[in-house]
């Protein structure tokens, strides 16, 4: 007698997305109520102790903030449209698993050997020009994919890797420099930091939805979303060129002297850079391994519904930033940042060393992204306190260089040679997050010793 075993595809319930959506709204719109209840008053001229999303600040600041976020959202959607398909792009051209890994290695190698100097280039020629380069790279890839029947996957991988690396520092650097140049209060930066994380995540979700609407047959229309991405790149570049201002340029000699005396000789910035690099490594490892971990043992899962759940969790984590960073916060910046790193590390540790049901794994990964949503604006706040704006891009790019080298090592040893298991790689990412927590804790101790050397926000 034969048996038929039915395989049921696991899916997230619709109530999960509803809960994340309602939680984000509640976190945003209840903040002013509880702030007032706690006795925190905000002046109408924007000179209170801390800004909030609903504070009545100057019209010039809100105009500047809306203009920047418009471009930042456009740039996020462009990146999402170009990378939403992932491995499907390689499979369409018949790439084997090893060829896929080699293509990824080529992209990461570009960020290791060239990306480290892109931050220096951004500081020297101005972040506005580097943001233009980001748009040009996406325009090139979008045009190539839209017009060629057999576009070069290798060139696309190299270009998109460099563009993704530029995105991590160029827009933030321009925003902080222009914010200071226009004379806005430094406290107002806090809102912009968490709104950047919030809208970037929302834009990636929107990019996935737009790509799914544009592609009905993957074998015929895989690269059709690249045409809208190229169009948006043109719009973004034209807007930047017309409305954004260029900043002071440095000579190589001036920049080298400033960087060596301000960045390389400050141990606090080394610790901050280590924390940034560890987070970048952990997030990159997660995006490489989350799908294989969830579908382990041949489990059927609708991955396209889990992806926006992660990004929604990051949005929710970012909305917690104004709650814990305000003047009435009961926990210092370094304390909640260390706890966030530890919580994120524990989430990856449990996923690495203990077999979990799919629901438990998804919950752990959502918790990891919620922690990342809180960590990202907090690190931006620390960068503003420690790093001069004119050296910000170079500092970020150099801090990410060791992380990118580690990612390249993981791809070669774990992806190509299979010498490292997925569990071991996740454990390495978790260890990096614990290391970042230790770096932030040491920063707190040094802050107590030299309080006058910090630019408080």
17-18-20-26 Cα dihedral, nearest 10 degrees: 160
Residues counted in the chain:
457
Alpha carbon of 176 to those of 95, 125, 193, 296, 384: distances in Å? 42, 16, 10, 43, 8
Domain count, the chain: 2
Same domain, 207 and 97: yes
pLDDT, one tens digit per residue, over 397-411 is 999 999 999 999 999
Q: What is the pLDDT of residue 41?
A: 41
Indicate the pLDDT class of residue 301, thresholds 50, 70 and 90: confident
Same domain, 380 and 338: yes
Q: Does 13 map to a domain?
A: no
Task: State residue 78 phi and psi, 5-degree precision.
Answer: -60, -50
Same domain, 266 and 213: no
Same domain, 94 and 161: yes
Widest Cα–Cα separation across the chain: 82
Same domain, 238 and 262: no
Q: Does 52 map to a domain?
A: no
Q: Does 19 map to a domain?
A: no
User: What is the residue range of 70's domain?
Assistant: 58-249
Nearest to 415 by CA among 81, 95, 92, 93: 95
Same domain, 270 and 395: yes
| Residue 143, burial from CB neighbour count under 10 angstroms (0-12, 13-18, 19+) | middle
Same domain, 299 and 349: yes
Average pLDDT, integer, range 435-448? 90
104 neighbors 212 (Cβ within 8 angstroms): no
pLDDT, one tens digit per residue, over 42-67 is 433 444 444 444 444 578 899 999 99
- Average pLDDT, rounded, for the chain: 86
Helices (H), 295-391: 303-319, 321-325, 333-353, 358-386
224 neighbors 88 (Cβ within 8 angstroms): no
Beta-carbon contacts of 161 under 8 Å, excluding residues fewer than 6 positions away, are 107, 108, 110, 111, 115
Q: Read off the CATH number of the domain in which 352 is found.
A: 1.20.1250.20
Same domain, 181 and 255: no
Task: State residue 10 phi and psi, 5-degree precision.
Answer: -80, 135
Same domain, 258 and 203: no
Same domain, 197 and 280: no
Q: What is the pLDDT of residue 452?
A: 56
Last residue of a domain, one of 249, 270, 290: 249
Q: Does 45 map to a domain?
A: no
166 neighbors 134 (Cβ within 8 angstroms): yes
Last residue of a domain, one of 219, 249, 279: 249
Q: Does 8 map to a domain?
A: no
179 neighbors 188 (Cβ within 8 angstroms): yes
Same domain, 108 and 219: yes
Q: Does 431 map to a domain?
A: yes
Last residue of a domain, one of 199, 216, 249: 249
pLDDT, one tens digit per residue, over 110-162 is 999 887 789 999 999 999 999 999 999 999 998 888 777 777 788 888 999 99
Give dist(CA 181, CA 158) in Å, integer.
34
Label residues 67-89 b or e (16+ Cβ within 10 Å = b). Answer: ebbebbbbbbbbbbbbbbbeeeb
Give dist(CA 419, CA 104) in Å, integer.
17
Q: Does 31 map to a domain?
A: no
Helices (H), 9-58: 14-29, 31-37
Same domain, 167 and 179: yes
Q: Does 22 map to a domain?
A: no
């Amino acid at each position: 007698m034969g048996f038929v075993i039915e395989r049921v595809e696991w899916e997230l319930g619709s109530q999960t997305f509803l809960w994340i959506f309602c939680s984000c709204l509640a976190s945003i719109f209840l903040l002013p109520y509880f702030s007032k209840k706690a006795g925190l008053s905000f002046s109408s001229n924007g000179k209170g102790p801390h800004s909030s999303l609903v504070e009545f600040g100057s019209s010039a600041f809100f105009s500047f903030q809306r203009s920047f976020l418009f471009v930042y959202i456009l740039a996020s959607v462009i990146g999402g449209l170009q990378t939403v398909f992932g491995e499907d792009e390689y499979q369409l051209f018949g790439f084997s698993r090893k060829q896929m890994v080699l293509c990824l290695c080529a992209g990461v190698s570009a960020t290791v050997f060239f990306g480290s100097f892109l931050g220096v280039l951004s500081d020297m020629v101005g972040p506005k020009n580097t943001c233009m380069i980001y748009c040009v790279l996406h325009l090139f890839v979008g045009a190539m994919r839209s017009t060629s029947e057999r576009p070069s996957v290798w060139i696309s991988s190299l270009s998109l890797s460099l563009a993704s690396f530029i995105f991590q520092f160029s827009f933030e650097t321009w925003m902080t420099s222009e914010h200071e140049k226009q004379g806005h209060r430094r406290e107002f930066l806090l809102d912009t930091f968490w709104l950047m994380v919030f809208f970037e995540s929302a834009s990636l979700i929107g990019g996935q939805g737009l790509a799914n609407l544009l592609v009905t047959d993957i074998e015929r229309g895989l690269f059709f979303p690249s045409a809208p991405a190229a169009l948006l790149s043109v719009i973004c570049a034209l807007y930047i060129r017309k409305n954004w201002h260029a900043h002071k340029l440095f000579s190589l000699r001036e920049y080298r002297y400033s960087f060596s005396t301000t960045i390389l000789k400050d141990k606090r910035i080394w610790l901050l850079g280590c924390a940034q690099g560890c987070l970048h490594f952990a997030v990159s490892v997660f995006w490489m391994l989350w799908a294989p971990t969830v579908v382990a043992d041949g489990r059927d899962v609708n991955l396209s519904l889990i992806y926006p759940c992660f990004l929604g969790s990051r949005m929710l984590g970012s909305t917690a930033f104004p709650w814990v960073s305000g003047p009435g916060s009961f926990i210092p910046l370094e304390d909640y940042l260390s706890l966030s790193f530890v919580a994120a590390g524990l989430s990856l540790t449990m996923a690495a060393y203990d077999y979990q049901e799919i629901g438990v794994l998804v919950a752990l990964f959502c918790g990891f992204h919620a922690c990342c949503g809180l960590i990202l604006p907090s690190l931006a706040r620390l960068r503003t306190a420690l790093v001069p704006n004119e050296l910000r891009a170079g500092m970020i790019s150099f801090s990410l260089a060791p992380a990118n080298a580690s990612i390249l090592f993981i791809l070669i040893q774990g992806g190509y040679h299979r010498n490292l298991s997925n569990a071991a790689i996740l454990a390495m990412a978790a260890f990096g997050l614990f290391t970042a927590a230790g770096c932030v804790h040491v920063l707190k101790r040094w802050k107590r010793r030299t309080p006058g050397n910090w630019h408080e926000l």
